[in-house]
Amino acid sequence: MSFLIFVSMTPLGKGESVSEYVSRVVDVIDRSGLSYVLTPMGTIVEGESWSEVMGVLERGFEELKKDCPRISITMKIDYREGKSGRIRSKVESVQEKIGREIKTLKG
């Protein structure tokens, strides 16, 4: 089984540029060992269990909560039984159907 989760955690009231804060969440995700792709608008994380992925995201939230009294979180979750490696395979499937490589973030 596989969970793909798009997440965006944004502190509110911290000015226009929040990359200083977002980078702390991405660091937690990176250190987790889970597969992920950072995009300009959020991060896609892949894991084998709900508790595995949500545990990492909770640690990221706790990191932000240390000095961010208000945080906006957007999530989109895709669960699929019997599949893994979908961060890459979903993109490859679309490229195959188009018949060529298309612009993607390199992950």
Looking at residue 62, its pLDDT comes to: 98
Helix or strand run (H / E) with residue 58: helix 50-65
**pLDDT tens track for 21-72:** 999 999 999 999 999 999 999 999 999 999 999 999 999 999 999 999 999 9
- The residues near 31 (Cβ < 8 Å, ≥ 6 apart) are none
Q: Is residue 105 part of a domain?
A: no
pTM of the prediction? Answer: 0.88
Amino acid identity for residue 78 in this structure: D
> Is 25 contained in some domain?
yes
For residue 103, tell me if it sits in a domain.
Answer: no
Which domain does 63 fall in, by range?
2-98
Q: How far is it, in rounded angstroms, from Cα 14 to Cα 49?
A: 33
Amino acid, res. 42: G
